[in-house]
Amino acid sequence: MLRCNICQSTCDSPEETSVRSNVRKFQSELFRIWRCPTCASIHAKDEVDLGHYYASYPFHALGEQRDTDGLLQAMYKNQLRRLRDAGLRPEHKVLDYGCGGGAFVKFLRGAGYEHVSGFDEYSQEFGDRAVLNERYDVILSQDVLEHVAEPWDFLREISGLLAPFAVVMLGTPNAEALSLQNAESSVHALHQPYHRHIFSKRMLLSLGEKLGWELVRYYPSMYSNTLLPFVNQRYLLHYFKAGDNNLDIVTEPVRVSNPKLYTPAAFFWGFFGYFFPPETDVAVVYRKSA
């Protein structure tokens, strides 16, 4: 009997499959996942030593390697625009919870937001839990919810860090858009073994009911989906497949000699991919009541 720790239902025979890791060092390893038949959320079935896997996590290098990367800057500008639309102002206290190497923290500070803190338990620079003793006007938690062992404990922790009427933005995959029948097609959003529990869209849109949060906005795409040519979700997926289809590619120099980057499909997705987001990675914005 398996229990969904998102909707709390139990089931005997859910849909299951195995999927490889999309991190190059671990791509030969397979991990079991299953889907809750009640809420359509997806769960990792295997217990793993996450410290072992995070020790080689590609995104932790972004804070040092690609701060000035123009493409990454375009994505961060899109994320900042979303935060501004939600009410972010320069005087606000901001927390990037799960900031990895701190690239977005440094971006916000460089953009004039002086009161920005970051926390990531797997980061040496941003691992100080003292920042969790403060209250914040805006909390961003990008690609964290799906990584934690107990999602509702994490969300309650986030709620406790919010000042009255504060805003929280959660960026996370949408389980309803991910295939288990063809898991390789969703290998990046499934992102094993790092993603432990992936909310379905219906659960993302209703989670505020338990926390006293008001839904402000739902984004059917990730902040990486921009109007800048070749900086959108569809092209990023094509770019992965043009290489070895592993996450590490985003931290490495562009291989301009790769002929797969010059196909008609590559140019179509490069210029028009923004208009066809796959809704595999989404974001929700909530506001806490008093």
Q: How many Cα atoms are found within 13 Å in the side-chain-facing hemisphere of 262?
A: 6
Of 140, 149, 147, 106, give the one whose Cα is nearest residue 125.
Answer: 106
Of 98, 76, 78, 71, give the one whose Cα is nearest residue 168.
Answer: 98
Largest CA distance in the chain: 56
Amino acid at 34: W
Q: Cβ distance 95 to 136 under 8 Å? A: yes
Domain that holds residue 57: 2-288
Question: Residue 245 in 3-state DSSP?
Answer: coil
Query: What pLDDT is stored for residue 69 in this prediction?
Result: 64
Q: Which stretch of DSSP H or E encloses residue 264?
A: helix 264-272
| 20-48 pLDDT per residue, tens | 999 999 999 999 999 999 999 999 999 99
Q: Cβ distance 65 to 103 under 8 Å? A: no
Using pLDDT thresholds of 50, 70 and 90, give the confidence band for residue 60: low
Mean pLDDT of 42-67: 77
User: Is pLDDT of 63 > 60?
Assistant: no
Mean pLDDT rounded to a whole number for the chain: 93
Query: What pLDDT is stored for residue 61 in this prediction?
Result: 58
Using pLDDT thresholds of 50, 70 and 90, give the confidence band for residue 67: very low
Report the C-alpha gap between 242 and 277 in whole angstroms.
19
Range of lowest pLDDT (61-65, 94-98, 152-156, 250-254): 61-65
Q: In total, how many domains does the chain have? A: 1
pTM score, whole prediction: 0.93
Domain CATH code at residue 34? 3.40.50.150
Query: What pLDDT is stored for residue 253 in this prediction?
Result: 85
Query: What pLDDT is stored for residue 218 in this prediction?
Result: 98
| 112-154 pLDDT per residue, tens | 999 999 999 888 899 999 999 999 999 999 999 999 999 999 9
Mean pLDDT of 166-181: 97
Using pLDDT thresholds of 50, 70 and 90, give the confidence band for residue 11: confident
Query: What pLDDT is stored for residue 124 in this prediction?
Result: 84
Report the C-alpha gap between 269 and 237 in whole angstroms.
9
User: Is pLDDT of 176 > 70?
Assistant: yes
User: Is pLDDT of 53 > 60?
Assistant: yes
User: Is pLDDT of 250 > 90?
Assistant: no
Q: Cβ distance 95 to 131 under 8 Å? A: yes
Looking at residue 27, the DSSP 8-state letter turns out to be T
Question: Residue 120 in 3-state DSSP?
Answer: coil
Give the tokens for residue 63. 């804070």
Mean pLDDT of 3-14: 92
Query: What pLDDT is stored for residue 256 in this prediction?
Result: 87
Instruction: Report the Cα 180 to chain-centroid distance in Å.
Output: 19
Report the C-alpha gap between 123 and 102 in whole angstroms.
9
